[in-house]
């Protein structure tokens, strides 16, 4: 499947910002299952310093500095990616969750995709007794890891309401959990918190959903903006398996285009910045993900 | 009494705890050989003399303003540094072993950090569980560089050690983030050696100065001649050990900076100075690594410098210590270091660390759970990473059954978050309590500096000693600190703590002055001067209202009006003048009242402690304490005169010290500018209030002369008494009167002229034009024809001058000082 992805993020500042430094994570990188065919970014106003690097987890990061006073910032990213969709792994064939936990704790690999990075509390995701109590009943002794994780995803989808008004990017996962509502970021943080509280490795994936559903399919929540879901480590063989608790579906079926991978939102946030200004600002994001007709 | 008899008496009541090693006496109660001379010397001194000497040491620390901040008690604020007066003596043999042991450990930790920050290949190959590293909140992933060797991580390293009952020294904790305490060790040593100079001279104690020299030389080796010098990056005055940051900066000749003083452009770090941006190539870091860059590390940090990570990765700045060095403080690592030593540095560790089992591995976890009742359980990483349950360390014998079970379940589920540790019975050292020696447990912090010349260990350090035995003796929990004397086999070279002349290159060029420091010095001077002018008003008012009929006296109404207009007292038409004077002197809730002005001055001084003379600080503290004392706050109206006069004397001490002892470089200029502007403003305002061309009273003109401190000069010149034109001439226009307006303006002009030119075009600040204009206007004023509007115009000009100085030199948020104009 080939997708055309277009994202425009616009900031409007209350006053002129004399100086700003940003880190952007808006370009997909080719990896297993994803080929980036074209990729391009336009930043307005034109930055005075511009450098593209990779962060620890392998995400493409763009460092920009704006030295001229500006009262708006528009970042437009466009890419064409090819998604290889294969059959999804059968959850019941994955190892018992306790064994996977032991393997995650014991792995000697400190490489970017090692599960070792994904078992501890992170900036947005605490290890919490409430998470543990919520998830533990689903993890019966010996239950295959992916089956239990899918149960957890389904339980979250059932118990929580999708409500963009309930939270914002700074809402702690504990609060969203207590409210039982939130957006994709909250759903993902809560599910990661539950898995890590059990000692399991779970990562945060940001990306896109196809904007227009296939005929006869429901429109997915989060399709008009950037999306986020969870990647669960299921042992050396099955590796990372993606689950979308916002829509209660597995995220390897062709509707999800991954962009960045990390421990939580703070590792993958699309635009991080420090601006030297005290005024208010507003932001708007427009996303369009269209499937290209096969040639 | 014989000398031996006195010594016996001194230690007669000294009883080491059963089963615990004591540093001073052995199990049979005999004084250990390396302590005998010292014990004899103490005994010979006698109780009264010792008490006197110990008091002198305390007084020195108090006078030097040595303090630390207590976090969990916000009301306590700064607390005086508590010194335990009896030093810990270390024998030459013990020291040799400690020194070798900590150097080995420094090498090993450097090797671990280097490997982790180059991708962890060696540790992986050795089979070390990656989660051991990944769990640390101080493992800063953006610093990992797999394509090039990582720079030195550990420049300054500290180890907390303790001695077990069998006499063996053990490492309790590694301090690798930004070790604190070296400055306090220095202060302890200076305090003790001042109080007991003669006692000290009798012993061959290793000196601390060479260690600090080596550190200074090492840090300076990373700088280049045209840069801003070595900077010490502090989180600011609210930090627990800010005093130490300021002290070390001053002692080592470093620039004390906060994140807001620095800026990253094009991958290099710059200091914002009054002369524009200056490159920074070395940072002695005292803020936690995670807080150092809000862009790539902790986005919530308000202390950091956006872009610092990239500057570090590009090798454009040397960070001491590396941003990610805190990783090695993890307790989890303690259990693995002994086995890593052979493969990583090809040595066996001679100094063991406290037995530690990381519960992330099944075998260690089982072992800990089996002997849970005899262990200390602690968080595996330096900071509590949010494991369940919160808190720790937990001393298992202290927990009840259900608490133990909660902990057991948590360890079984997420063993990675916990370590089990052996409970160590720490050795004891003598502490002087109520006139006698008493054994108390302690830990000893040893400092190591990595230099081009190899590792240097500070022969000394400080001991934390407290009445309770626990692994976690901490200043925050009421412990005291003691000096550590490392005894030498032979005579010690008598070096001083003051840097030797051969090592200092003479430099006369103006130093680099950070913009924020200039800003604070400028306002410090303005607040102090305003406080003084307010006090002059209060004193003049008090003199007049102490007469019987106060309201009718000339000048009283005018003074009260000015004090109200200056915000020193509330607007209240019914307030009597005496009450207004009292309020202006003693009520801190009004911004213009003296206590509030002095508090503002103190705040400004407290963030420039490295540049502010210690004597001036002490004088400012005295003034502040005087104003806040109950005797001042609860004074009756009749005592206002006396208190105001005392306060004026105390202020004179501040300005005297400040001006006499600050060297005449850029910082001093800003102090003078602030002082002159404020004094000129006050003179103008006094003149407008008390001098009227027509219908003015002679008494009010007298008052103006009094406030301007020139009535004696006036009387000698004009025997006929005060008249408008001659008074205006003397107060405003006579350059020979050091309080006249023209005198201030001519000095102001000189100071502004001496300020740095503004980059990039090297033009003078617009402040120069303002100062020139004001000086020219006032020079040609005719004293007979001066109108209030003329004076008001000068006042506006003075405020414009202050603004222009701020715009040119203090604006920290404007990064365009060098490049903006071009773009």
* Tokens of residue B12, six digits: 């007669």
Pairing of strands A161-162, A181-182: parallel
Please state the domain extents for chain A: 2-84+269-291, 91-268
Mean pLDDT of B355-380: 92
pLDDT of residue B3: 64
pLDDT of residue B74: 43
Distance of CA A76 to the CA centre of its chain: 19
Predicted pLDDT of residue B699: 87
User: What pLDDT, on a 0 to 100 scale, did the predictor assign at position B137?
Assistant: 93
- Measured CA to CA in angstroms, residue B220 lies from A162, B346, B800 at distances of 57, 31, 41
Decide if B139 contacts A122 (C-beta within 8 A).
no
* Residue of chain A whose Cα is closest to the Cα of B139: A117
Residue B497 has pLDDT above 60, yes or no: no
Per-residue pLDDT of B424-453, as tens digits, reads 889 999 999 888 899 999 999 999 999 999
ipTM above 0.90 for this complex: yes
Nearest CB among B133, B413, B819 relative to A198 is that of B413
Tokens (6 digits) for B158: 């500290």
Confidence band, pLDDT 50/70/90 cuts, at residue B504: very low
Considering only the beta carbons, identify the residue of B134, B294, B385 that sits closest to A117. B134
How many CA atoms within 13 Å lie on the side-chain side of A11? 22
Exposure of B820 by Cβ count < 10 A (0-12 exposed, 13-18 middle, 19+ buried)?
A: middle
Q: Is B324 touching A (CB cutoff 8 A)?
A: no
For the record, the structure tokens of B329 come out as 């403080």
Reply yes or no: is the peptide bond before residue A45 cis, omega within 30 of 0: yes
Interface mutation vs chain A, best among B263, B305, B306, B308, most A CBs within 10 Å: B306
Give me the pLDDT at residue B509, please. 42
Across chain B, mean pLDDT equals 87
Where is average pLDDT lowest: A291-295, B258-262, B613-617, B742-746? A291-295
Q: How far apart are CA B130 and CA B260, in angstroms?
A: 36
Residues 233-272 of B with CB under 8 A from A: 264-266
Contact B119, A109 (CB under 8 A): no
Is the pLDDT at A278 greater than 90? The verdict is no
Backbone φ and ψ for A181, nearest 5 degrees, come out as: -155, 165
Q: What is the pLDDT of residue B822?
A: 27
Which of B25-29, B314-318, B699-703 is predicted most confidently?
A: B314-318
Which among A70, A50, A77 has a CA at the least distance from the CA of A275? A70
> Which residue, chain included where needed, has tokens 């969750």?
A97
Question: Residue B476 gets which letter from DSSP?
Answer: G
Structure-token pair, residue A233? 């480590």
Would you list the DSSP string of B544-561?
HHTSSS-TTSTTHHHHHH
The tens digit of pLDDT for each residue in A71-97 reads 999 999 999 999 988 889 999 999 999
Instruction: For residue B266, give the nearest of A49, A117, A120 by CB distance.
Output: A49
State pLDDT tens for residues A203-215. 999 999 887 777 7
Give burial (CB, 10 Å; 0-12/13-18/19+) of A229. Answer: buried
**Segment B492-520 mean pLDDT:** 61
Chain A interface includes B302 (CB < 8 A): no
CA pair distance B43, B12, nearest whole angstrom: 11
The answer to whether residue A68 neighbours chain B at the CB level (below 8 Å) is yes
Average pLDDT score over residue span B104-119 = 97
Cβ pair A105:B415 closer than 8 A? yes
Q: Do B120 and A110 touch (CB under 8 A)?
A: yes
Give the CATH number of domain A91-268.
Answer: 3.10.620.30
Q: Does A3 touch chain B (CB under 8 A)?
A: no
pLDDT tens digit sequence for B575-622:
788 889 999 999 988 999 999 999 999 988 888 877 777 788 888 989
Q: How far is B815 from chain A (nearest CA, A)?
A: 7
**pLDDT tops 60 at residue B503:** no
**Using a CB-CB distance cutoff of 8 angstroms, which residues of chain B are in contact with residue A21?**
264, 295, 306-307
- Tell me the Ramachandran region of residue B709: left when phi exceeds 0, alpha when psi lies from -120 to 50, beta otherwise: left
pLDDT reading at B548 higher than 80:
no
CB < 8 Å to A117, chain B: 134, 141
Quick check: helix, strand or coil at residue A275? strand
Query: Could you tell me which residues are beta bridge partners of residue A62?
Result: A24, A52
Answer whether A273 touches B (CB < 8 Å): yes
For an interface test with B, which of A21, A124, A200 has the most B Cβ atoms less than 10 Å from its Cβ?
A21
State chain A's mean pLDDT as an integer: 91
CATH C-level class of A2-84+269-291? mainly beta
Provide the chain A residues 144-203 that lie in CB contact (below 8 A) with chain B. 197-199
Residue (of B446, B464, B442, B468) closest to B455 by Cα position:
B446
Q: What DSSP letter does each residue of B326-385 carry, written as one string?
A: GGGG-HHHHTTHHHHHHHHHS---SS-B--EEETTSHHHHHHHHHTGGGEEEEESSSS--
Q: What CA–CA distance (Å, rounded) separates B742 from B732? A: 6
Long-range contacts of B290-293 (CB under 8 A, 24+ apart): B290/B137, B290/B138, B290/B140, B290/B326, B291/B235, B292/B233, B292/B259, B292/B323, B293/B323
Q: Which residues of A fall within a CB distance of 8 Å from B295?
A: 21-23, 272-274
CB count within 10 Å of CB A205 equals 22
Taking Cα atoms as reference points, which of A52, A70, A60 lies closest to residue A10?
A70
Pairing of strands A249-250, B262-265: unpaired
* Cβ distance of A108 and B124 shorter than 8 Å: yes
- Over residues A150-178, the pLDDT tens digits come to 999 999 999 999 998 888 878 888 999 99
- Are the CB atoms for B387 and B331 separated by under 8 Å? no
Tell me which residue of B380, B352, B385, B353 sits closest to B365, measured CA to CA. B380
Closest partner residue to B386 (CB to CB) among A102, A105, A126 is A126
pLDDT over 70 for what percent of chain A? 97
- What is the band of B495 on the pLDDT scale with cuts at 50, 70, 90? low
Q: What is the distance, to the nearest Å, from the Cα of residue B336 to the centroid of all Cα atoms in its chain?
A: 36
Alpha-carbon distance values, B445 to A120, B34, B101, B145, B461 (Å): 31, 20, 13, 32, 6
Question: With contacts defined as CB-CB under 8 Å, which chain A residues touch B124?
Answer: 108-110
Task: Supply the pLDDT for residue B511.
Answer: 62
The residue count for chain B: 823
**Cβ A129–B388 below 8 Å, yes or no?**
yes
- Collect all residues of chain A within an 8 Å Cβ-Cβ radius of residue B389: 129
CA angle B69, B73, B75 (to 5 degrees): 90
pLDDT higher than 60, residue B30: yes
- Three-state DSSP at A31 gives strand
- The whole-number pLDDT of residue A294 equals 61
**Which of A200-204, B126-130, B715-719 is predicted with the least confidence, judged by mean pLDDT?**
B715-719
The β-bridge partners of A282 are A12
Q: For residues B661 and B639, what is the distance between their CA atoms, to the nearest angstrom?
A: 33
Q: Are strands B436-451 and B454-457 parallel, antiparallel or unpaired?
A: antiparallel
Q: Which residues of chain B make contact with A199, given a CB cutoff of 8 A?
A: 413-414, 416
Sequence spans of domains, chain B: 515-659, 663-706+722-823
Report pLDDT for B350. Answer: 95
Chain A residues whose CB is inside 8 A of the B116 CB are 110
Nearest Cα to A206, choosing from A218, A222, A195? A222
Q: Do B815 and A67 touch (CB under 8 A)?
A: yes
**Residue A266 to chain B, least CA–CA distance (Å):** 8
Q: With 50 as the cut, is the pLDDT of residue B813 above it?
A: no
pLDDT tens digits along B282-335: 999 999 999 999 999 988 888 899 999 999 999 999 999 999 999 999 999 999
Query: Is the Cβ–Cβ distance between B607 and B235 less than 8 Å?
Result: no
| pLDDT, greater one: A253 or B262 | B262
Cβ B306–A104 below 8 Å, yes or no?
no
Give the model confidence (pLDDT) of B628-671 as tens digits.
Answer: 888 877 777 778 889 999 999 999 988 887 766 676 566 888 99
Question: B344-368 burial string, b = 16+ CB within 10 Å, else e?
Answer: bbeeebebebbebbbbbbeebbeeb
Q: What residues of chain B, 402 to 431, have a C-beta less than 8 Å from chain A?
A: 413-417
Of B125, B265, B310, which is closest to A63 when you measure between CB atoms?
B310
Model confidence at B821: pLDDT above 80: no
Q: How far apart are CA B226 and CA B507, in angstroms?
A: 12
Contact B385 A120 (CB under 8 A): yes
Instruction: Place B477 in a pLDDT band, splitting at 50, 70 and 90.
Output: low
Residue B816: its pLDDT value, please? 42
Q: B473 or B779: whose pLDDT is higher?
A: B779
Question: How would you write B228-282 as a 3-class SS string?
Answer: CCCEEECCCCCCCCHHHHHHHHHHHCCEEECHHHEEEECCEEEEEECCEEEEECE
Share of chain B above pLDDT 90, in %: 53
A-chain residues near B299 (CB < 8 A): 123, 266, 272
pLDDT above 90 (res B198) = no
Query: Where residue B395 falls among pLDDT bands split at 50, 70, 90?
Result: confident
Cα separation of B438 and B431, whole Å?
A: 5
What is the structure's pLDDT at B508? 40
**Nearest-angstrom CA–CA distance, A241 and A254:** 14
Please give the pLDDT value at position B382: 66
Position B814 scores a pLDDT of 46
CB atoms within 10 A of CB B490: 7
pLDDT at B506: 43
Give the per-residue pLDDT at B552: 60
User: Measured between CA atoms, how close is A86 to chain B, in angstroms?
Assistant: 31
Confidence band, pLDDT 50/70/90 cuts, at residue B475 = very low
pLDDT (tens digit per residue) in A229-246: 999 999 999 999 999 999
Q: At what angle do helices B640-661 and B614-628 cross, to 10 degrees?
A: 170
Measured in angstroms, the CA of B205 and the nearest CA of chain A are apart by 47
Q: Stretch A264-291: mean pLDDT, rounded?
A: 83
Q: Report the Cα A218 to chain-centroid distance in Å.
A: 21
Q: How many CB atoms lie within 10 A of CB B47?
A: 14
- Tabulate helix, strand, coil % of chain A (nearest 5): 25, 40, 35
* Angstrom distance (rounded) from CA A23 to CA B302: 17
- pLDDT greater than 60 at residue B73: no
């Amino acid at each position: 499947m080939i997708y055309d992805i277009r994202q425009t993020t616009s900031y409007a500042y209350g006053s002129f910002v004399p100086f700003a430094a940003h880190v952007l994570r808006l370009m997909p990188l080719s990896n297993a299952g994803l080929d980036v065919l074209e990729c391009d970014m336009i930043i307005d106003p034109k930055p005075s310093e511009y450098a593209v690097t990779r962060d620890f987890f392998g995400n493409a990061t763009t460092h920009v500095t704006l030295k001229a006073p500006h009262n708006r910032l528009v970042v437009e990213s466009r890419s064409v990616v090819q998604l290889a969709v294969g059959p999804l792994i059968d959850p019941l064939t994955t190892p018992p969750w306790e064994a996977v936990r032991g393997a995650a704790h014991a792995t000697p690999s400190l490489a970017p995709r090692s599960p070792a990075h994904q078992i501890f509390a992170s900036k947005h995701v605490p290890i919490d007794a409430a998470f543990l109590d919520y998830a533990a009943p689903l993890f019966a002794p010996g239950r295959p890891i992916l089956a239990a994780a899918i149960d957890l995803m389904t339980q979250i989808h059932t118990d929580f309401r999708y409500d963009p008004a309930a939270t914002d990017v700074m809402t702690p996962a504990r609060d969203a959990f207590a409210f039982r509502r939130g957006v994709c970021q909250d759903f993902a943080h809560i599910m990661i918190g539950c898995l890590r509280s059990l000692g399991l490795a779970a990562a945060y994936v940001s990306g896109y959903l196809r904007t227009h559903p296939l005929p006869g399919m429901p429109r997915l929540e989060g399709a008009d903006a950037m999306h986020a879901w969870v990647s669960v480590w299921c042992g050396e063989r099955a590796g990372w398996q993606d689950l979308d608790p916002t829509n209660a579906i597995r995220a390897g079926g062709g509707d999800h285009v991954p962009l960045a991978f990390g421990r939580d939102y703070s590792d993958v946030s699309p635009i991080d910045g420090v601006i030297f200004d005290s005024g208010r600002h507003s932001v708007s994001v427009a996303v369009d993900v269209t499937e290209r007709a096969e040639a | 009494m014989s000398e031996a008899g006195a010594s016996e008496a001194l230690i007669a009541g000294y009883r080491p705890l059963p089963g615990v090693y004591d540093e001073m006496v052995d199990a049979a109660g005999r004084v250990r050989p390396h302590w005998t001379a010292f014990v004899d010397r103490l005994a010979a001194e006698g109780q009264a003399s010792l008490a006197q000497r110990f008091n002198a040491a305390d007084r020195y620390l108090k006078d030097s303003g040595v303090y630390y901040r207590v976090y969990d008690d916000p009301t306590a604020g700064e607390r005086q540094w508590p010194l335990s007066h009896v030093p810990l003596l270390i024998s030459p043999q013990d020291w040799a072993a400690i020194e070798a042991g900590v150097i080995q450990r420094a090498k090993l930790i450097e090797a671990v950090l280097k490997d982790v920050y180059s991708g962890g290949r060696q540790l992986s190959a050795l089979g070390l569980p990656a989660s051991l590293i990944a769990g640390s909140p101080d493992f800063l992933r953006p610093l990992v560089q797999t394509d090039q060797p990582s720079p030195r991580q550990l420049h300054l390293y500290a180890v907390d050690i303790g001695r077990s009952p069998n006499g063996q020294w053990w490492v309790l904790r590694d301090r690798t983030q930004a070790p604190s305490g070296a400055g306090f060790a220095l202060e302890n040593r200076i305090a003790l050696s001042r109080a007991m100079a003669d006692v000290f001279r009798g012993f061959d104690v290793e000196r601390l100065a060479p260690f600090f020299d080596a550190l200074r030389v090492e840090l300076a080796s990373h700088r280049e001649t045209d840069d801003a010098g070595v900077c010490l990056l502090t989180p600011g005055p609210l930090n627990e050990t800010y005093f130490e940051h300021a002290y070390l900066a001053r002692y080592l000749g470093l620039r004390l900076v906060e994140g807001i003083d620095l800026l990253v452009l094009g991958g290099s770090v710059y200091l914002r100075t009054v002369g524009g941006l200056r490159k920074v190539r070395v940072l002695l870091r005292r803020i936690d690594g995670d807080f150092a860059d809000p862009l790539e590390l902790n986005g919530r940090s308000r202390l950091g410098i956006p872009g610092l990570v990239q500057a570090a990765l590009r090798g454009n700045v040397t960070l001491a210590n590396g941003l990610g060095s805190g990783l090695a403080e993890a307790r989890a690592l303690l259990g693995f270091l002994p086995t890593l030593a052979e493969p990583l540095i090809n040595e066996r560790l001679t100094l063991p660390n406290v037995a530690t089992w990381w519960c992330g591995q099944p075998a260690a976890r089982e072992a800990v759970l089996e002997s849970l009742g005899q262990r200390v359980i602690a968080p595996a990483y330096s900071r509590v990473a949010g494991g369940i349950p919160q808190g720790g360390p937990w001393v298992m014998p202290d927990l009840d059954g259900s608490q133990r079970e909660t902990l057991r379940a948590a360890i079984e589920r997420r063993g990675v978050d916990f370590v089990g540790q052996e409970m160590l019975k720490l050795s004891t050292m003598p502490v002087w309590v109520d006139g006698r020696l008493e054994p108390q447990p302690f830990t000893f912090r040893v400092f190591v500096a990595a230099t081009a010349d190899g590792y240097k260990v500070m022969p000394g350090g400080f001991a934390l000693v407290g009445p309770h035995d626990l692994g976690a003796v901490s200043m925050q929990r009421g412990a005291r600190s003691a000096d550590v004397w490392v005894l030498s086999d032979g005579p010690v070279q008598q070096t001083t703590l003051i840097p030797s002349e051969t090592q200092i290159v003479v430099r006369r060029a103006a130093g680099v002055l950070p913009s924020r420091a200039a800003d604070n010095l400028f306002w410090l001077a303005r607040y102090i001067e305003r406080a003084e002018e307010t006090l002059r008003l209060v004193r003049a008012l008090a003199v007049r209202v102490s007469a019987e009929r106060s309201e009718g006296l000339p000048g009283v109404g005018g003074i009260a009006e000015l004090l109200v207009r200056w915000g020193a007292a509330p607007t209240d038409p019914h307030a009597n003048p005496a009450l207004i004077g009292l309020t202006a002197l003693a009520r801190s809730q009004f911004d213009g009242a003296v206590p509030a002005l002095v508090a503002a001055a103190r705040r400004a001084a407290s963030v420039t402690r490295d540049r502010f003379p210690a004597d001036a600080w002490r004088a400012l503290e005295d003034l502040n304490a005087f104003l806040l004392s109950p005797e001042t706050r609860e004074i009756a109206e009749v005592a206002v005169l006396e208190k105001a006069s005392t306060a004026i004397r105390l202020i004179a001490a501040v300005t005297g010290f400040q001006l006499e002892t600050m060297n005449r470089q850029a910082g001093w200029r800003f102090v003078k500018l602030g002082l002159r502007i404020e004094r000129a403003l006050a003179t103008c305002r006094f003149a407008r209030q008390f001098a009227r061309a027509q219908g003015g009273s002679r008494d009010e003109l007298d008052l103006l002369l009094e406030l301007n401190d020139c009535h004696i000069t006036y009387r000698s010149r004009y025997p006929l008494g005060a008249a408008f034109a001659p008074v205006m001439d003397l107060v405003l226009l006579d350059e020979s009167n050091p309080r006249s307006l023209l005198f201030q303006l001519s000095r102001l002009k000189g100071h502004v002229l001496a300020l740095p030119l503004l980059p990039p075009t090297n033009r003078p600040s617009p402040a120069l034009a303002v100062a020139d204009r004001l000086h020219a206007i006032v020079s040609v004023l005719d004293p007979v024809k001066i109108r209030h509007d003329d004076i008001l115009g000068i006042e506006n000009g003075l405020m414009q001058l202050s603004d222009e100085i701020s715009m040119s030199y203090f604006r920290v948020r404007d990064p365009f000082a060098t490049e903006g104009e071009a773009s």
